């Protein structure tokens, strides 16, 4: 895979994992003793990868979930925008390669 495609494809994958983790955190907001998770992004050559998925220790004395709903709603917006931007980059790269092939023919 071309480096330019690999960068946007890897970011699409990481964003999908972030979306899955965010959805899981929201789904478990009413689960007792649930520990919310965060995705740690790692740099790779080329692009990015999921470095780790870490739990946030639950220090709630009542044992309720430690999911922070306003934070998770913000994550949903960031995930949507990041995914959309990388999808557009991927489409532009595809179009550029297609035009280059047409020029070569």
10-47 pLDDT tens trace: 999 999 999 999 999 999 999 999 999 999 999 998 88
Q: Does residue 2 come out as left (phi exceeding 0), alpha (psi in the -120 to 50 range) or beta?
A: beta
Cα–Cα distance, 102 to 57 (Å, whole number): 55
Q: Where are the domains of the chain?
A: 3-104
Instruction: Please report which confidence band the pLDDT of residue 1 belongs to, taking 50, 70 and 90 as the band edges.
Output: low
- What local confidence, expressed as pLDDT, does residue 27 receive? 97
How deeply is 40 buried, as exposed, middle or buried, from its count of CB atoms within 10 A (0-12, 13-18, 19+)?
Answer: exposed
């Amino acid at each position: 895979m071309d480096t330019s495609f690999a960068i946007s494809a890897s970011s699409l994958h990481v964003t999908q994992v972030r979306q899955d983790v965010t959805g899981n955190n929201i789904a478990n907001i009413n689960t007792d003793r649930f520990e919310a998770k965060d995705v740690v992004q790692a740099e790779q050559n080329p692009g990015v990868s999921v470095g780790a998925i870490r739990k946030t220790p639950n220090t709630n004395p009542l044992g309720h979930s430690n999911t922070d709903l306003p934070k998770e709603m913000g994550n949903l917006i960031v995930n949507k925008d990041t995914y959309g931007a990388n999808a557009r980059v991927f489409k532009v790269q595809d179009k550029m390669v297609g035009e280059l092939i047409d020029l070569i023919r």
